[in-house]
Amino acid sequence: MPAEGPRKKKTLGRGMGDLIGDTLENLVRGSNQAPSHEVERGPAVAHPALAPSLAPSSPQAAPRPETAPLLATARVVAVASGKGGTGKSLIAVNLAVALAERRRVGLIDLDLGLANAHILLGLVPRYDVSHLLGGERSLDEVLIHGPRGVMVLPGASGVPEMASLDDASLDRLASAVMPLTMRSDTILLDCPAGLSRQSLLFLHGADVVLVVTTEDLTSMTDAYALIKTLVTHRPNAVVGLVVNDARSAMDGAETYRKVNHVARKFLGREIISMGTIPRDAQLERSARERRPIVLSHPAAPSSRSLLELAGRLAAYESTETFLGFSARVSRVLAAAAGERTLETEAEVTCAS
């Protein structure tokens, strides 16, 4: 018994990366037992680089449904991943085209510095979001139409400063895309991979966050890290997991089980299973041909899975329909600005 005290103290000092890695390692070995270093479940620990600058917004700050100036019409679905190389953008563009068969769909490429959604759709934009933010072009001038009439807002490519916009620019971007959310039924956000503050801000604006992972251990670890950080700042976020490039349906289900097991144990959250996209050579070929597989090979295994995923999204009913993407992003930025003001005032008080 005496040895338990020091061991627990040492556990509490472990980093989040160690905790995630050790837990997933345990699960990959096939054990259903909790790791020996499991701590009592409590509020999730915020990612250290994000806590000061992206605080959760206060529920009281939400405008009343009947007086909200930015009423939402579109359901906003963010497609995200903890790391690159998961096929996130390929899933986003195919979902957009699949959903566009029966509804008005907008696709916003928010990987603002390394955009590629337009490439996967076989489009060559004349302008991109940098022209919109700079005031050089209007939203309608930048928007291009893809297959089935998908309205695409292309991100910039090879413009590194777009990957780290300041708060004023992010707020302008949120306001600039509001007309698109008003004329769409569904908006797909192709978000940048990883845990940057800018990436997480976009996730705050979505009704549903789809986290894409593969069976690879590092991909699962990064997916869990993204989920943990998101629900720390937005506890009521609707989060679903998509397993891409799975060797089989059974392997995909097992990957979901592992990530969900960790989320349930350490976050007290169930992650929604949004399905598995099987490994499919035709999907890779469609990417090279710059044509969505749901159009070029609708009977392919990956295409059928993507169409099923689109059906699940179409059936989802938002619980926050009165507040749209633009309003949510602006609210989070305002909350972060208020927190920084309080921190500055506290520093001045302490200094005096």
Alpha helices, DSSP H, located in the chain: 4-12, 16-28, 88-99, 117-120, 129-133, 139-142, 167-176, 178-182, 197-204, 217-233, 249-267, 281-289, 293-296, 301-315, 325-351
pLDDT at position 34 over 60: no
- In angstroms, the CA 352 to CA 348 distance is 6
Question: Which band of pLDDT confidence, cut at 50, 70 and 90, is reported for residue 117?
Answer: very high
Its pTM surpasses 0.85: no
Segment 294-321 mean pLDDT: 86
> What does DSSP assign to residue 244?
E
Per CATH, the homologous superfamily of domain 70-338 is: P-loop containing nucleotide triphosphate hydrolases (3.40.50.300)
- Pick from 272, 305, 314, 273: which is nearest to 90 by CA? 305
- In angstroms, the CA 307 to CA 312 distance is 9
Predicted local confidence at residue 22, as pLDDT: 55
> What does DSSP assign to residue 94?
H
Give per-residue pLDDT as tens, 321-352: 556 888 889 888 888 887 655 445 445 445 55
Give per-residue pLDDT as tens, 289-299: 999 999 999 99
Provide the residue ranges of all domains of the chain, joining segments of one domain with +.
Answer: 70-338
Mean pLDDT (the chain) is 80
DSSP helix/strand/coil, 265: helix
